[in-house]
Structure 1
Amino acid sequence: MSVPSVPPLPRHEPRRADCPWCGSQRLLRRAPGRRPAVDECRDCRHTFHNPRSAAGPERGAAVRAGARLRHRSAARALFRCCPEPESWLDVGTGDADFPRTARSLFPYTSFDGLDPTHRVLRARAVERVEEAYVGRLADPHIAARLGARYDVVSMFQHLERVPDPRAELRAALHVLRPGGHLLLDVTDPRRLFALPPGPRPAGLRAELEARGCTVLTRPGSRRVVARKEPSAP
């Protein structure tokens, strides 16, 4: 089976004038002259790269090794809450490194992948995921197709990379079945120049609780596990 090639991508997207989390235009440039540039919202304290790097593969042995450690730790954390999910969607999966790692704990789970690039098609070709979707989870045609389909949805440093993280979070809950689990791994907000900075765990917790979810991880944790309650809208 031939492996799809990955087309080249631009390095950066256009600079934005508003906060991707709350929409405020009261932005503060945290470190003038630094690259990549980091802005902070004066209203909700969300930090983000502005302009954002375009979607693309992570590089560097240290980055890959750190990602593998996070993936194994996250899989174990989810296993304690939900040891036998039938279906799992990894959002922003890229080459599906997380599903490949998680299979050691979830050998009978069906893993699907979604990514804004065609890398996910390559991941399907090498059987790291069973179904592959190209686009954003918040895209109407994808959300409509995947509604209430999954027992688990995972996002690894994904909300930091999308233009509307709250819409992406709403879409993740939409494709979860009642009682399903959401697994989020976000950049530590204390690391100003982490790649990339992202939503603060407290903001994620408040958003999830407002949408009828029970957050199972401790406050302030960069890994957020939440259960979608049957009564959630």
Structure 2
Amino acid sequence: MVSTIQKPKQSINHKGILLDLTIYIAVMFLVREVYIPNLFSLLNGLLWTLTTLAVATWRMKARGYTWKDLGLRKPKSFKKTLLISILVVIVIAIAIITFNILQETLGFLGESESTSKSSNSSFKYLKGNWLMFFSIMPIVLVESFLEELLDRAFLITWFEKLFSKTMIATILAVLMQALIFGFRHSNDISERSITVAIIGLIMGIAYVKFDRNLWPIIIAHCILNTMSMIDRV
């Protein structure tokens, strides 16, 4: 894997990085307790994400980093970027199918009732409603974009810095962000949380493996969420 992102001649303030992560993760989960009933559910989600984006940007600025430093930069080749995105989508599809087969065969895990109800009710209005589909897709795509900035770029980079004294800092960072990514999508250990964690793991590996450019995984994330929303119509 590619080495930890560090600026030249800059020592790592491990206590500061731990403080950053503590603030960020606390806000990430606490802000989800704020739900505006009259606001469209996806807009509530976007509000939560924008809040955590503000916190991440604040802590990055305090450490002298920009989103460009973490991978939000122009790809060298659009064709290569698109091919990587398609490869990531294929790998994720294979991984999820494999997990579902194992889960159904062994029956070692079930979808929690609360998670299942929440998942089914959130988008029930989409069934047969293509006008609604096209109305909400801009929000879905923006959310996909922001999740890659936060869950991959920020969390992986900051966890790497926290674990930088170990030889497996990058591996730990990729694993940690995947676990957080999975858990915050359902707040339990269920089929859904593990499936999302698998997606986060593969996205995290792709981010590190392919020169830490965010665009391949942003495009892959947008493709996956678009396919998921089409499946609900």
User: Would the TM-score normalized by the shorter structure come out above 0.5?
Assistant: no
Pick the structure with more helix per residue: 2
Pick the structure with more strand per residue: 1
Bigger relative CO (Cα 8 Å, ≥ 6 apart): 2
- TM-score normalised by the chain length of structure 1: 0.29
- TM-score normalised by the chain length of structure 2: 0.29
